[in-house]
Amino acid sequence: MDSMLHSLAIFYKTLDKTLQPQTMDCGLCGECCRRAAGLQVYPLELQYISRFVQNPRIMQKFINFIENKRVKIWGEIAGQCPFQQGDRCSIYAVRPYFCRVYGPYNLRGKNLLPGCVYNGHSTTYFDQKELPLYDQFLNLVQKSNHLYCRRC
Ligand code: SF4
Ligand code: SF4
């Protein structure tokens, strides 16, 4: 299990490096985390976050949040992520894949909130397979699915 979490940490570093040159900095307005409906999070990512927060109560809130509002990746249904504190993400260093790509990548060119600094600067995608390092990500998280969580 630890080796998978380590692999995920390395993967996120590579992903962040891949995303950085092609984008501007996030405006940190926090709007996307107030309306993070249907955020897709894999069991390995949950495990990684759980190690970081060490708080079963807030982890359960987060699991309820992602299960109850699984409608769209981002956008139309309002729902504040339990990890948002003020405008900021309290688990920024360990946030899931889809939190990292939101902004630089824009589903069908329609998924960014009004006022998001990435409007006009994002890469449009139509299928998750077009997201950066997605095959590598899927390979990593799917390998581990059976290890920890039967919820997802
Ligand atoms: S995990 Fe962090 S970045 Fe992702 S929706 Fe929640 S507060 Fe926002
Ligand atoms: S809505 Fe855009 S600018 Fe605001 S926090 Fe989210 S990604 Fe950053």
Least-confidence region, from 10-19, 31-40, 92-101: 31-40
Pocket of ligand 1 (CB under 6 A): 33, 36, 39, 81, 83-84, 89, 91, 95, 99
Torsion, CA 71, CA 13, CA 19, CA 77, rounded to 10: 20
Question: Which of 28, 33, 102 most suits a substitution to test ligand 1, by most atoms within 8 Å of the C-beta?
Answer: 33
Enumerate the domain spans of the chain: 2-148
Contact 110, 96 (CB under 8 A): no
Note the ligand closest to the C-alpha atom of 79.
Answer: 1
The residue-averaged pLDDT of 116-133 equals 95
Mutate to test the pocket of ligand 2, among 84, 98, 102, 106 (most ligand atoms within 8 A of CB): 102
pLDDT digits (tens, 9 = 90+) for 21-78: 766 788 899 999 988 766 889 999 999 999 999 999 999 989 888 876 544 445 455 5
Is the C-beta atom of 118 inside 6 A of ligand 2?
yes
Angle between helical axes of 2-19 and 134-143 (0-180°, round to 10)? 170
Beta-carbon contacts of residue 44 (< 8 Å; ≥ 6 apart): 4, 5, 8, 140, 141, 144, 145, 147, 148
Number of H helices, E strands in the chain: 7, 4
From atom 4 of ligand 2, which residue's Cα is the shortest distance away?
29
Instruction: Flag whether pLDDT at 8 surpasses 80.
Output: yes
Q: Report the distance separating Cα 68 and Cα 95, nearest Å.
A: 19
Q: How far is the CA of 120 from the centre of ligand 1 (A)?
A: 22
15: left (phi over 0), alpha (psi -120 to 50) or beta: alpha
The mean of the pLDDT values for the chain is 86
Q: What is the largest CA-CA distance in the chain?
A: 40
Atom 4 in ligand 1: which residue has the minimum CA distance?
A: 99
DSSP assignment, residue 4? Answer: H
Output 30 or 145, whichever has higher pLDDT: 30
Compute the distance from residue 148 Cα to the ligand 1 centre, in Å. 21
d(CA 1, CA 110) in angstroms, rounded, equals: 37
**What's the token pair of residue 109?**
């060119």
Query: Residues in the chain, how many?
Result: 152
With cut-offs at 50, 70 and 90, classify the pLDDT of residue 150. Answer: very low
